[in-house]
A and B are shown apart, each in its own frame.
Chain A
């Protein structure tokens, strides 16, 4: 391992014939950082991760992981990297404990976290892989990537198939990796997943990195919708004047309030009235792109919607 960023991409590009996978990717991820790679399906997240893992060769540019070239030094890179692929494929005919032993056999030292993670992920090692559910396969993939306590984790949609409790446990484990100064590069198309775990987010769409932001900035600018059903009639105008509220719509019997950023003032104003029901929906990735970049989704400069835009 070297000082400086653990992951560096410089002008990284991959084309499949004339089809663009990712183009002109420049980014770096520091030690102790959890970096989210956020984008819709087909945006180029998996292509980037496969180049970082030395599975596919860049058309141009370079990817450096742990100070080593991700393609030409691929075996040495893997000494430092744990990886969960987007589409987990395991050896179906092996028992889980045999699979763990097999993968363990490639490492120069015993896996320090193996027993602890088996317990925390509640894995049954005696089963054959082919008998495992989708969620349990994902847990095995997590274990395989993390059990040797790698300095760098490169994860492609890591919580796919996990139940909410196990997702929570996974993020706790991820936080512990970060606390030990390890680096995590995590791709997702789920905004809330990135929001809860990452320090910075790279936003990718249509094969291009359109922006990199701190997660706090993302939270502050994120658009959310709140549906409130009051017990009595409430004038929408009293919410329209509140800070950060973008719009108020009268639905059948409730109000839909669209807000960007801090919700404190809004919640206090709602609490003045008697509330029968309240739904606070997380914004979708589409909302997110609309809020930051407009309908073109990053082809132009970021557009911050003003009050009243929605």
Chain B
């Protein structure tokens, strides 16, 4: 770990982090603001939800999912949709810029001309990714914790606290895989393309496995399988197995990134 690189990364990306954090916080406030008008139509919403085909209900919620509750509404409208999209965009952007972006711009040659190991560069950039992920998760969930009682949302703070850990692990797993691609390619575009391709595959697999029993046995291959915010918010149930898988993905991807980056040619 190198403090000089960490300080520079924070200085360079502070505006980006601020924009993502403020944008997600504003979206969370908007979602909160919608809830009071929706909750007066709970029965209608429940009827609407039940009127969807079972496969659709499974794909976007689950058998025991209750849309017309605050945590159900939050899960569908925020935590499994917009939040995931924006967070993935952030993770892929930061992770691919960390190594492939520098190689593409040629600045990696300047960095590697200094007395610092490749491992230290990589570990520091990965730590920065973790730090900024935590900050944005905090900024995204804080308005919900503060605003839920004001808008009459029935939310247990323990659930929200529980959610931070799997959210961090889920996004870091995606970020770490992107990070690995960042060490493989000389072009940031290729790293982004490959990362997004894999994420879209995981998302499609998640949806298809929920609605099609013939492929449900490979559902676990999708990272989205391990992201179920409703489970934490509503059931207050921490999934240790899911967390272990996500930790495994982070460790394996990061180790692979270190091994690859330490052996590869830079500036070819």
A-side residues, CB < 8 A to B, are 16, 50, 53-57, 74-76, 78-79, 81, 83, 85, 87-93, 102-103, 105-107, 144-145
B112→A89 contact, CB < 8 A: no
Binds A, one of B33-41, B114-122, B163-171, B229-237: B114-122
Among the listed B4, B115, B117, B267, which residue makes an inter-chain contact with A55, where contact means beta carbons less than 8 Å apart? B267
B110→A56 contact, CB < 8 A: no
Neighbouring B residues of A57 by C-beta, 8 Å: 263, 265
Sort A-B residue pairs by CB-CB distance and give the 9 closest, nearest first. Answer: A89-B106, A105-B4, A106-B114, A56-B265, A78-B115, A83-B113, A75-B117, A79-B115, A55-B267
B110→A54 contact, CB < 8 A: no
B265→A55 contact, CB < 8 A: yes
Contact residues of B between 222 and 268, Cβ < 8 Å to A: 263, 265-268
B114→A78 contact, CB < 8 A: yes
B267→A56 contact, CB < 8 A: yes
A53→B115 contact, CB < 8 A: no
| Bound CA–CA A84/B266 (angstroms) | 15
Flag whether B109 is at the interface (Cβ < 8 A): yes
A91→B107 contact, CB < 8 A: yes
Neighbouring B residues of A81 by C-beta, 8 Å: 113
B115→A75 contact, CB < 8 A: yes
| Bound CA–CA A89/B265 (angstroms) | 17
Among the listed A54, A79, A87, A106, which residue makes an inter-chain contact with B4, where contact means beta carbons less than 8 Å apart? A106
| Bound CA–CA A278/B117 (angstroms) | 56
Among the listed B7, B115, B117, B267, which residue makes an inter-chain contact with A50, where contact means beta carbons less than 8 Å apart? B267
Report whether over half of chain A's contact residues are helix, strand or loop; otherwise say mixed.
Answer: loop
In which size bucket is the chain B interface?
Answer: 20 to 34
Among the listed B2, B105, B114, B268, which residue makes an inter-chain contact with A89, where contact means beta carbons less than 8 Å apart? B105
A90→B107 contact, CB < 8 A: yes
Chain A residue with minimal CB distance to B120? A75
A55-B267, A106-B4 given. 13 additional CB < 8 A pairs?
A55-B109, A55-B265, A74-B117, A75-B120, A78-B114, A79-B115, A89-B107, A89-B110, A90-B107, A91-B107, A91-B110, A93-B12, A105-B7
B112→A53 contact, CB < 8 A: yes
Known: A102-B8, A106-B4. A54 touches B107 (CB 8 A): no
Neighbouring B residues of A89 by C-beta, 8 Å: 105-107, 109-110
| Bound CA–CA A87/B265 (angstroms) | 16
| Bound CA–CA A102/B265 (angstroms) | 24
26 contacts between A and B (CB under 8 A): A53-B109, A53-B113, A55-B265, A55-B266, A56-B267, A57-B263, A74-B112, A74-B117, A74-B118, A75-B117, A78-B113, A78-B116, A79-B115, A85-B106, A85-B109, A85-B110, A85-B113, A85-B267, A89-B105, A89-B110, A91-B107, A93-B12, A103-B110, A106-B114, A106-B116, A145-B113
**Nearest-Cβ distance from residue B13 to partner chain A, whole angstroms:** 11
Neighbouring B residues of A92 by C-beta, 8 Å: 105
Neighbouring A residues of B110 by C-beta, 8 Å: 85, 89-91, 103, 144
Chain A residue with minimal CB distance to B106? A89
| Bound CA–CA A87/B266 (angstroms) | 13
| Bound CA–CA A91/B12 (angstroms) | 10
Neighbouring A residues of B106 by C-beta, 8 Å: 85, 87-89
| Bound CA–CA A298/B266 (angstroms) | 30
| Bound CA–CA A55/B262 (angstroms) | 10
Chain A residue with minimal CB distance to B265? A56
Neighbouring B residues of A79 by C-beta, 8 Å: 115
Neighbouring B residues of A54 by C-beta, 8 Å: 112
Neighbouring B residues of A107 by C-beta, 8 Å: 114-115
Most buried by A among B2, B113, B120, B267: B113
Neighbouring A residues of B267 by C-beta, 8 Å: 50, 55-56, 85
Chain A residue with minimal CB distance to B119? A75
| Bound CA–CA A83/B114 (angstroms) | 9
Chain B residue with minimal CB distance to A79? B115
B113→A56 contact, CB < 8 A: no
